[in-house]
Chains A and B, each alone.
Chain A
């Protein structure tokens, strides 16, 4: 059985909150372990915030989630200019406090926490697809 969730939202901070609320309700309903739920929310927020905060000119973002056979498939689609978040520089997680900035953590989290991640430009839309282990505790 496959459980799915799909949200089509305007690119606002409120939409990021709405997305997180929906993901939390989904993970509760399907009794996912807290770490799997947290990873999903973290990555979804990073990717959605990329679209929303950077004022890319996107008019919407769409989040799709499917849970099947112990795997979470999450994808985010937006109609902003071509942008591959996976190509961004990673944060220096070894830097001292004084030198530490928080840019680049999103892509670092994707690389560490997702089982797979792929970006594609589909027509005039960005499409980022992730898979995550739904059993991570």
Chain B
């Protein structure tokens, strides 16, 4: 799991690459949890081909942290297999997800 931090439209952007699973979620959490702050953080998942429930657990934790801090939290670029997991788990109803990074930072 590679994580590259940048910023766009005043928000922090974390670009994730690889698998977000049991093995990589703890390491990703160490980087991403402290990055949650107003105005907000967008995760670019364009290069993530696989998310397991360990990855979903991290997304939920980040979303709750953002809500507690009054920060925006959104996802961008979910690949079809990732989107399927996201929808089946009902996460599409609780975490905003956008097709592109531009939409996520604007939305």
Contacts and interface: CB of A to CB of B under 8 A. Distances in A.
Query: Interface of chain B, helix or strand or loop or mixed?
Result: helix
Contacts, number: 82
Given A20-B21, A42-B50, A102-B57, A35 B84 contact: yes
Interface string A113-124: 100000000000
Contact of B93 (A45, A94, A108): A94
Nearest to A20: B21
A34 interface: yes
B31 interface: no
Interface stretch (B7-15, B35-43, B59-67, B99-107): B59-67
Nearest to B21: A45
Interface string B38-61: 000000000001101110110010
Interface of A: 13-14, 16-17, 20, 34-35, 37-39, 41-42, 45-46, 49, 52-53, 91, 93-98, 100, 102, 105-106, 108-109, 112-113
14 contacts: A13-B22, A34-B81, A37-B81, A38-B49, A38-B50, A38-B81, A42-B50, A42-B52, A49-B54, A53-B22, A93-B90, A96-B94, A102-B56, A105-B56
